[in-house]
Amino acid sequence: SEIYRAGISGTKPRVPVDADALERAARKALSAEAFAYIAGGAGAERTVVANRAAFDRWQVWPRPLRDVSTRDLSIDFLGRQRPTPFLLAPLGVMEMAHADADLAVARAAASIGIPYTLSNQASVAMEQVRDAAPGGSRLFQLYWSASDELNASLLGRAEASGCEAVVVTLDTHLLGWRTRDLDLAYLPFTRGMGIAQYTSDPVFAELVRERVSGLSTDARLVESAPPVRLTPKAVAAGITIARKGAALTGAGVRESLRSPLPRAAVETFLDVFSTPALTWGDLAKAREWTSLPIILKGIVHPDDASRALDAGADGVWVSNHGGRQIDQSVPTLAVLPEIVDRVGGRVPVVFDSGVRQGVDAAIALALGATAVAIGRPYAYGLAVAGEVGVAEVIRNLLAELDITLGLAGCTSIRELGPEALREA
């Protein structure tokens, strides 16, 4: 009603309410590369389309005359009552959407009481994100690195900085075939973006040092050259090298090695970022690294949901990475009921990929999801209007969910079950 009243009194929203208009506004606000990276999917992007189309199978069945004057959107999640059933999905490299990146997202999420899943590829170190919104609820998402020491270090930091759970993403052991990025020759990490979690990590710094000390003097010079995206420090290092030119040897090399080593850091990141050799057996190690609850993200097969339970996972996150990993993959909503069935209420089931409106969340919740995660829409809000934009996008999703719940004759998320839906 707050949103309606603002509209009636003539206050225009900062970001478009309509999901397609929001995407168009973000496209205008972003560089061609950033928009392609955020909006894009794998291959011909049929999974992106299928994620949306899967909602068409379900219709909400309205039930009037049930006194829905008070409605409760809260859920129980990881042992705590949460005011809403939404989470923010982990999105890396948000510096490409807005200079405040993860700081703006964390503040917006905290202001509404929504847990923010901080990406392994975030643009801001997790401790800084905590400091920006100290009261906010945060989860940390891990891409399982080829370096166990690094995994242990990142999870230790997540726990120490107050994250409530660890989300291990399982669907990115190889990077998807991202056609838009390939056409634009755009991979943000090679430009030194989205690696703040690493460059703020002591174990990572050691890996960079080891890498550099194993190189010849010439190679060290190349490695210490600034990356394409120039930070003031990198520019300073680059100027030192340029001034001394080919004559840079011995003490000069050591001097430049004391400067940041952006290129070496990027190369080290590319080496350790993930491992295609990961198996179910490895997951037990995460238990040694953290005492936080562990949620497995990227589960789309009921048998893998069973394996997750066998492996002692504290949550299952149904996701196909927003259609960014495999073209013509199974859409997540289509497999949600089977996975919910298999999990049988033993652990929470988070759902994402393709949620664009409040009614989409209502459908996923009615089919048994415990919580619904938002991806691209909040990145678009961030691009258009920073922290305010993220908050508006979330509030619009919440408002539409609340209205849909009431019109379906339910007063709480608990009451919202499959009987509120009809198959089209």
Q: Per rule CB under 6 A, is residue 331 in the interface with ligand FNR?
A: no
Tell me which of 47, 84, 121, 290 binds ligand FNR, using CB under 6 A.
121
| Options 6-14, 262-270, 368-376, 391-399: segment touching ligand FNR (CB under 6 A) | 368-376
User: Measuring CA to CA, which residue among 107, 355, 384, 124 is closest to residue 116?
Assistant: 107
The string of DSSP codes covering 35-59 is: HHHHH--BTT-HHHHHHHHGGGGEE
Closest CA to 114 of 404, 410, 397: 397
Which CB, 220 or 395, lies closer to ligand FNR? Answer: 395
Total of residues contacting ligand FNR (CB under 6 A): 25
Q: Which stretch binds ligand FNR (CB under 6 A): 83-91, 184-192, 237-245, 259-267?
A: 83-91
CA 156 – CA 161 distance, rounded (Å):
9
Q: Does 329 bind ligand FNR (CB under 6 A)?
A: no
For the chain, state the CA radius of gyration.
23
Tell me the closest approach of the beta carbon of residue 65 to ligand FNR, in angstroms: 35
Output the smallest distance, CB 187 to ligand FNR, in A.
12
Element (H, E) at 77: strand 75-77
Q: In the structure encoding, which two tokens stand for residue 209, read together?
A: 């040092």
Measured at the CA of 331, the angle between CA 93 and CA 274, to 5 degrees, comes to 40
Q: Of the candidates 16, 90, 192, 331, which one interacts with ligand FNR according to CB under 6 A? A: 90
| C-alpha count within 13 angstroms, C-beta hemisphere, residue 378 | 30
Q: How far is the CB of 141 from ligand FNR (least distance, A)?
A: 5
Q: Taking CB under 6 A as the rule, does residue 47 contact ligand FNR?
A: no
Binding of ligand FNR by 375 (CB under 6 A): yes
Contact call for residue 352 and ligand FNR (CB under 6 A): yes
Check binding of 141 to ligand FNR (CB under 6 A): yes
For ligand FNR, the closer CB: 53 or 407: 53
Q: Which is nearer to ligand FNR, 141 or 357 (CB)?
A: 141
CA nearest neighbour of 16 among 398, 384, 399: 384
The stretch near ligand FNR (CB under 6 A) out of 84-92, 210-218, 387-395, 410-418 is 84-92
Our finding on whether 354 is near ligand FNR (CB under 6 A) is: yes
Smaller CB distance to ligand FNR: residue 37 or 55?
37
Task: CB nearer to ligand FNR: give 226 or 375.
Answer: 375
Chain positions 166 to 185 lying near ligand FNR, rule: CB under 6 A, are 169
Which residues are bridge partners to 87 per DSSP? 373
- The two structure tokens encoding residue 340: 């919910």
In the residue annotation, 173 being an active-site residue is answered as: no
Q: Of 98, 173, 301, 321, which one is the catalytic site residue?
A: 321
H helices of 133-261, in order, are 148-160, 179-184, 196-199, 202-213, 217-223, 232-244, 251-258
- What CA–CA distance (Å, rounded) separates 299 from 259? 42
Instruction: Give the phi and the psi of residue 173 in degrees, each rounded to 5.
Output: -70, -15
- Determine the length of the chain: 424
| Near ligand FNR in 299-328, by CB under 6 A | 319, 321-322, 324
The yes or no reply on residue 274 touching ligand FNR (CB under 6 A) is no
Q: Which of 27, 71 has the CB closer to ligand FNR?
A: 27
The residue (of 51 and 224) whose beta carbon lies closer to ligand FNR is 51
Which residue, 37 or 289, has its beta carbon nearer to ligand FNR? 37
Smallest gap from residue 415 Cβ to ligand FNR (A):
25
Beta strands in 332-395 (DSSP E): 349-351, 371-374
Q: Which of 26, 38, 154, 350 binds ligand FNR (CB under 6 A)?
A: 38
Strand ranges (E), 105-164: 116-118, 138-143
Q: Does 376 bind ligand FNR (CB under 6 A)?
A: yes
Closest CA to 178 of 21, 295, 79, 36: 36
Under DSSP, is residue 102 helix (H, G, I), strand (E, B) or coil?
helix
390 neighbors 336 (Cβ within 8 angstroms): no
Among 84, 119, 197, 274, binds ligand FNR (CB under 6 A): 119
List phi, psi (to 5°) of 299.
Answer: -85, 125
Residues classed as catalytic: 321
Q: Which chain residues interact with ligand FNR by CB under 6 A?
A: 37-38, 51, 89-92, 119-121, 141, 169, 297, 319, 321-322, 324, 352-355, 374-376, 379
